[in-house]
Amino acid sequence: MELKVSDNAEELRYELHADGELVGEIRYRRAPGAIALVHTEVEPRREGLGTELVRGALDDLRARGLKVIPVCPFVGAYIRRHPEYADLVTADDATPE
């Protein structure tokens, strides 16, 4: 199965495609120097791919030099389980409006 995570900036979401089919997304909001990841959703039949979606989004944000505000509980849990991403979390606990 070919997986691809991409930023759909017009829709303010990261998308996960499996073999060309959209199967998941992380909705986000922009903040100065950071992105607030607010909601993750994956098709029930593809539920196990949520970690691939989060990893892809975090890797993209790291490459772009942006911090993360993990509003979504799934994203927060992923970061806690993968401390190599902890440096991406912004020290500012304020969430964007």
pLDDT tens readout for residues 38-61? 999 999 988 889 999 999 999 999
Neighbour-count burial of 14, counting CB atoms closer than 10 A to its CB (0-12 exposed, 13-18 middle, 19+ buried): buried
The pLDDT of residue 92? 61
| Closest alpha carbon to 69 in 53, 85, 82 | 85
Q: Residue 2 pLDDT more than 50?
A: yes
CATH homologous superfamily for the domain 3-88:
Gcn5-related N-acetyltransferase (GNAT) (3.40.630.30)
- Would you list the domain boundaries of the chain? 3-88
Q: What is the mean pLDDT of residues 28-33?
A: 95
